Chain A
Amino acid sequence: MDCVVEMAEQNYLEKLKQCVASFDEEGVVKVCKEALAAGIAPSRLIVDGMAKGMDVVGAKYEAGEYFLSELIMAGETMTAGMKIVEPMLKNGAYERIGTVIIGTVSGDVHDIGKNIVAMLLTATGFDVNDLGVDVPANRFLEELRTHRPDIMAMSALLTLAMPEMENVMRKVEEVGLRHNVKLIVVGGTPITEDFAKKIGADAYGPTAVAGVKMCRELMAKK
């Protein structure tokens, strides 16, 4: 009996993985509803079902098979599924890998890269607070002070915004908030590994997918 139940559960999870990987929004909604009706834990549908589909998409992106358009489609598909599943979570909770604050630094309003990272981090099991764009240093500091997230992620597309990233890092040290966050990760078109090291960041994401993978790996070590 347990075997049969387990197989049925695996079927649903596999279907959800496939729906996200193939951007089947209608399918993911249908399967989520059926799976919930069959009594499968909502958290499993997210972590072992839909998020696995995002992993497939991420791998194909890194392999040069998928592009920004597919990351967006996968994110939309998973969001559609989350709308069905999240209300069913007990106390709104499921096992999260960690908490993240993310924003594009002050002086820069580009957001597509940051939005993709935020979406992938959520999909992969992080609790993400997206601070938006043109985020002043003080806002980052306030978040560290008040919420002590596991990860602070900063994004910039403009070269001009790079000194601002350095400014935020300096202020974090100056006011003694470095210990309020486990990891500081930076990314964006002009950002390099050298620059990230220079300003004291813990990690640098050359692409959205690589950055998210790094966040998972680093959190697993902490």
Chain B
Amino acid sequence: MTSKERAYVALDHKEPDKVPLFEAWMDTLVVERIINRPVKGVHDLIDFYRTLGIDFVVIPPAGLNAKRVGDTFIDEFGLKWQVREGQGIVGQFTGFGFYIEGMLKTPEKFDEFEFPNPLAPGRIDDFKTALKAIGNDYAVTGAVELAIFERAALQVGLRDFLRCMYKAPSFANGVLKGNYEYSLELGKSLLDAGAEFILIGDDIADNHGPMMSVKLFKEFIHPYYKNLVGSLKKRGAKVIFHSDGNLLPIIDDILDWGIDGLHPIDPGAMDIFQFKRDYGSKVTVVGGVDMAKLLPFGSEEDVERAVKDVISRVSPGGGHILASSNSLHSYVPDMDKYVKNILTYVNTAHKFRNYPIRDLGSGLQ
């Protein structure tokens, strides 16, 4: 099977020839270590995925028109970021560091603001390039990031935005709507360009549960997602949704959107083994390799054992795509160890991912 064929079968909750591999967000420093050269453009990103044999090739949209102000920059969505030269998640804003604040804190500021054009020239050029280069064989995936809630919360400030959902619901809804409309148009343009796989990223939960109450979620967030995912699915796309945190209080609604895959089943918040048992027939589980503790701090043996364990226990029956549990960021104390562990994770996966999954005797339970 090609990577693309494998991806389709897994997202149909079945067993392909092998467990597919997936990564979405990698720090520039990690990518450079793997491909042994600086990251200059999309071809370097493609090489990263091909070097590691990752089936899903996630290509983010371009961030355009960022305004540099000293050692910070303000992006086209009104978000201010701290610059960290040569570091940061590859793609949108290579070189960004930390989010500092949003510039749309009030209804007045929001009313003056105009969302950027999702269809602006250059927005999805990288995606188109990747699709043309390897789209026949690989599951080239368009990314719609910070899709609805997360960017709204960053634009206003998380604490203030959650408060506005109670105290200023029209304003809160206006910000969500603007982001929904942007994400919908971006998603549709990716499909127009030939995308078959879409990754929607939106951190709506923390370890305790959704950041907003279930009632607020149902009122403000759920309808937009039902429309967004529904629109993309109607055109035949496979949709993977990403959020950190514990989604169990709202999982039925999330599954009601019609998503094909859910990433990452955050190990800090949910048990992937239990989740696969409970929901594996309804959604493909994308995740399994802890990047918070295991990859930065574990021994090579720990990594090997953990990868074999998750394959043994989650992959049988299909409906599993192996991935790290968030992103391959660079906030680690020992880069050499981390990169070695990433390679061990991927090499172990390649060694043991063939279906039917045999008993890998990992010894873990």
- Using a CB–CB distance below 8 Å, which chain A residues touch chain B? 23, 61, 64, 66-70, 72-73, 76, 109, 112, 115, 158-161, 163, 189-190, 207
Contacts and interface: CB of A to CB of B under 8 A. Distances in A.
Interface stretch (B54-62, B180-188, B192-200, B209-217): B209-217
B54 to A, nearest CB: 23
Given A67-B249, A68-B206, A159-B297, 15 more contacts: A64-B209, A66-B213, A67-B210, A67-B214, A69-B165, A69-B211, A76-B163, A112-B159, A159-B292, A159-B293, A159-B331, A159-B332, A161-B331, A189-B292, A207-B208
A158 B165 CA distance: 28
B209 A115 contact: no
Interface of B: 98, 158-159, 162-163, 165-166, 206-214, 216, 249, 268, 292-293, 296-297, 331-333
Nearest to A210: B208
Contact of A160 (B158, B212, B216, B333): B333
B95 to A, nearest CB: 17
A189 B268 CA distance: 7
A190 B268 CA distance: 8
A68 B296 contact: no
A29 to B, nearest CB: 14
Nearest to B295: A159
A112 B214 CA distance: 20
Nearest to A61: B208
Contacts of B166: 23, 69, 73
A206 to B, nearest CB: 8
Contacts, number: 60
A187 to B, nearest CB: 11
Contacts of A76: 163
Nearest to A161: B331
B292 A69 contact: no
A67 B213 contact: yes
A169 B15 CA distance: 49
Contacts of B293: 159, 190
Pairs A-B, 4 closest by C-beta atoms: A160-B331, A69-B162, A69-B212, A68-B211
Contacts of B158: 112
Contacts of A112: 158-159
Nearest to B248: A64
A115 B212 CA distance: 17
Nearest to A113: B206
B209 A67 contact: yes
B213 A72 contact: no
Contacts of A190: 268, 292-293
Nearest to B100: A109
A68 B292 contact: no
A161 B329 CA distance: 14
B249 A68 contact: no
Nearest to B210: A67
A189 B211 contact: no
Nearest to A115: B159
Contacts of A207: 207-208
B332 A160 contact: yes
Nearest to B266: A189
A67 B208 contact: yes
12 contacts: A68-B208, A69-B162, A69-B165, A69-B212, A69-B213, A72-B162, A76-B163, A112-B158, A112-B159, A159-B292, A159-B296, A190-B292
A21 to B, nearest CB: 14
A38 to B, nearest CB: 29
Nearest to B166: A73
A174 to B, nearest CB: 20
A69 B217 CA distance: 11
A72 B163 contact: yes
B163 A73 contact: yes
Given A66-B213, A109-B98, A72 B159 contact: yes
A70 B159 CA distance: 11
B250 to A, nearest CB: 10
